Structure 1
């Protein structure tokens, strides 16, 4: 079982309380009414699927209900950092070095 830390509730709970929302820091088209079909396809469907560290968006469904971000290693499934929505994405290379990756 994975344990996930909610930066809003400041508690660590079982993964069953959370829902993964996919890749974090995906920018909406600046002017949605002028976005092309290709822009919408890129925004809605195209995601990175890296082997290693990735920033993901999570929601604490059975807690505060808020979205937050987490850095997770997709190889080991280990979480390395949690941070609130709206905060900038941390330097993944620095986190990897810190973790000895």
Structure 2
């Protein structure tokens, strides 16, 4: 395994889907919103992260279950923020 230094325009940063869980972590870390970003931005980020991890689980078979777990955690994070933004919904689907 070799270490890779970021050049700023790696194929993963230019839109290719990550091929490994480590790449998914790296790509998503670079896409993280600012800490003080609007909560809706964080919801979108967590939902996007869940999709990336789910796609990664399909191609990185050595880390399939871990990537799937990461996807589930990201969905929970998004739902937690949504629940805080809309406490009147109490889990009701519209």
Q: Give the TM-score, by structure 2 length.
A: 0.24
The structure with the largest strand share of the pair is 1
Q: Give the TM-score, by structure 1 length.
A: 0.23
The structure with the largest helix share of the pair is 2
